[in-house]
Amino acid sequence: DPVIFAAASMKTALDEIATEFTAETGTKPVISYAGSSALAKQIDAGAPADMFISASVAWMDDVEKAGMVLPDSRKDLLGNTLVLVSDSEAPVDLPKLPEVLGDHKLAMALVDSVPAGQYGKAALTFMGLWDKVEPQVAQADNVRAALALVATGEAPYGIVYKTDAAAEPKVHVVATFPEDSHKPITYPVALIKDGPAPAEAKAFLDYLGTPKAVAIFEAQGFEVK
């Protein structure tokens, strides 16, 4: 069976698609969910993976640079949107964020290393807000943890992906960052050399483009590229 290394944030959608795929083909993809960085390093170290779905362009670049990617198999699979969430419903005018925030915390993923954090920092910098909010930024090790800080009320605001915000009833999207404020959010996918089941992996990669799969991705809030 094909072994898929996928960013942990895709679990819901990918599990569902895999179930459909199994029903149709009888092939059962084995999906290992972990942080993109861990997965990339494992692939570099010779992990028996057929496919890598990364939440970060940089880590896919890394794997590609290491020569692990099957030529021409890489493509951008999904896109996402960056939003400001809060535990209150009142919409926020982004340029007023520093005032609205006061001396409270703004929850983000690690701004220098985790993609969601990097995108968020870029967006805030682009809008000229970064310097003002920087001291108040609480960086979590991933988007989900940042969201949890908002959901529990520890931080009144947070910057997360739309996909995360959608599933958490305790938070509300109070603003959306303009697309041009940061590099496009992209989830690249690629087939990996020397995997245990290359043919089935290829089939699953193709299946990710079928309308059924696209519908599932979109239901989770992803943009399918």
Partner 1 sequence: MSFLSPEEWTAVLLSLKVATVAVAASLPFGIGVALLLARSRLPGLWLLNALVHLPLILPPVVTGYALLLSFGRKGPIGGFLYDVFGLVFAFRWTGAALAAAVMGFPLMVRAIRLAIEAVDPKLEQAAATLGAPRIAVFATVTLPLILPGVLAGAILAFAKAMGEFGATITFVSNIPGQTQTLPSAIYAFLQIPGGELQAARLAGVSVVVALGAVLISEGVARRVAKRIGGA
Could you tell me which stretch among 27-35, 92-100, 181-189, 207-215 binds partner 1 (CB under 8 A)? 27-35
Distance CA 136, CA 221 (A): 28
**Contact pick of 167, 199, 215, 219 for partner 1 (by CB under 8 A):** 167
Closest CA to 179 of 140, 129, 126: 126
What mask, x for binding partner 1 by CB under 8 A, covers residues 185 to 214? ------------------------------
The CA radius of gyration of the chain, in Å to the nearest whole number, is: 18
- What does residue 108 show for φ and ψ, rounded to 5 degrees? -140, 170
What mask, x for binding partner 1 by CB under 8 A, covers residues 88 to 107? -----------------x-x
Q: Is residue 5 near partner 1 by the rule CB under 8 A?
A: yes
Dihedral of the alpha carbons of 113, 118, 121, 127, in degrees to the nearest 10: 160
| Binding to partner 1, residues 28-47 (CB under 8 A) | 30-35, 37-42, 45-47
Q: Is residue 127 near partner 1 by the rule CB under 8 A?
A: no
Contact 43, 68 (CB under 8 A): yes
* Structure-token pair, residue 79: 């896109």
Q: Is residue 152 near partner 1 by the rule CB under 8 A?
A: yes
Q: Is residue 182 near partner 1 by the rule CB under 8 A?
A: no
- For residue 207, give Cα distances in angstroms to 24, 49, 83, 177: 10, 18, 29, 31
Residues in contact with partner 1 by CB under 8 A are 3, 5, 8-12, 30-35, 37-42, 45-48, 58-59, 61-62, 105, 107, 110, 112-114, 137-142, 144-149, 152-155, 163-164, 166-168, 220
